[in-house]
A = this chain, B = another copy of it.
Amino acid sequence: MTGSGVPRDMLGRSALTRVPDARRLILDALSGIKPGSETVPLHMALDRISSADIIAGEDLPNCARSTMDGFAVVAADTFGASQSMPAYIDVAGEVLMGREPSGSVQRGTCFKIPTGGLVPPGADAVVMHEHTVEVDGRLIEVVKSVGAGSNVIKKGDDIRRQDVAVAAGKLLRPQELGLLAGLGIAEISVFRKISIGVLSTGDEVIDYTEPLVPGKIRNINSIVLAGACRRLGASVTDYGIVSDSEAAFFSTVEKAVAENDLVLFSGGSSVGVRDLGEQAIARLGDPGIIVHGVSLKPGKPVIIGLCGTTPVFGLPGHPVSAMVCFDLFVNPVIASISGRTDSEIQHPSVPARLMRNVNSAPGRLDVVRVSLSLENGEYRATPVLGKSGAISTLSRAHGYFLIAEDSQGCTSDETVEVILYQ
């Protein structure tokens, strides 16, 4: 019962797993697991994830267009033109928006053309309006030469037929929908949304809508975890607060595992409830427990398991610890099993000047929540202090930085990389 310097897991059995190792263990175990796909209309596809490469069925643009208001010319007719030695070119016609040009451009002639107008056959460049002087309705002076292709977007310049317009596994932002609309793709195949079951346990926990009685605490984790999952595109089922009696807990976790792609339970900071969580994961199917306890503060008692192909996370009861474990472990697992393969820039971070010393015990990764202020273009990070479990510290934080396992802390004025809460 005395302490010792050797890291041990929650049950005193073995060394704690390092955070990157824990993450790799569960991600490796899940590699290749993807949701099924479904077809949705393009206008319903915002923030969904493409389930297959989407191939351009045509060139974009599908014919050459002007990118300027001006005159469609044969570029060679302008060579050597200048303010003092303009080239004279006959205006043989005009391109109207939305219409095919009537006729073609010959040497020595040009067509007036608006931005976006189709470049007529024979023309290979557009002279900007600003580089011309109108002599009369039928003749212009060109005062600057243009090379072939100038001010023209050619057929296929944006994207070519048969090119991959959007790769599989990509989050569909507004701009991807725009590209697909430009290609006339009106419906696409996306991964179906993953479903996540959330439950809280602990005989002391009551729903936040119920009156508080002495000894009880309100359920904070369910609404925080459900919100964090929804923001990552998942559908969430809240299984409420489950008694930590063995029968009730096992049957609810079993039901949640059967009904969802991922299950989160939280609470059970007591050793008894942690045992229960571990037993539930082990009993529900192989491979069972993957990680039990990590060298992390806060968040050490996290349990990560896999029941068949369904990841199950036992998160600490303290809301702050639960959120730290969510960010470090659950978030990348959700990205992976949602089918995302574009997640390299998923967690934006900013460098910031640390405003006070922060100590850290070697041998564990420390997650330090900070509030940010912007002074003269520089971010300043002030650690948000508070007792373990203080949910207000999360609300006051703009993000967090990490103190590596082998570090004893960070000093004031040091630059730290702050991972931003969205």
Contacts and interface: CB of A to CB of B under 8 A. Distances in A.
Nearest to A158: B390
A271 B1 contact: no
Nearest to A204: B98
Given A62-B212, A345-B420, A202 B1 contact: no
Nearest to A86: B2
Interface in A180-233: 181-186, 202-205, 208-209, 212, 214-221, 223-228, 230-231
A100 interface: yes
A394 interface: yes
Contact of A214 (B100, B205, B269, B422): B100
Nearest to A351: B351
B182 A218 contact: yes
A11 interface: no
Contact of A269 (B114, B219, B228, B397): B114
A116 B374 contact: no
A387 interface: yes
A152 B392 CA distance: 16
A43 interface: yes
A157 B221 contact: no
A133 interface: yes
Contacts of A84: none
**Chain A interface residue bracket vs B:** 35 or more
A166 interface: yes
Contact of A67 (B60, B166, B351, B387): B387
Contact of A158 (B130, B166, B230, B391): B391
Given A203-B97, A204-B98, A420-B348, A223 B43 contact: yes
Contacts of A218: 181-184
A259 to B, nearest CB: 19
A391 B178 contact: yes
A186 B173 contact: no
Interface in A250-290: 269-271
Contacts of A224: 174-175, 177-178, 181
A158 B173 CA distance: 38
Contacts of A388: 67, 153
B203 A98 contact: yes
A225 B173 CA distance: 11
Nearest to A114: B270
A275 to B, nearest CB: 13
B345 A204 contact: no
A214 B85 CA distance: 37
A389 interface: yes
Contacts of A227: 46, 173-174, 177
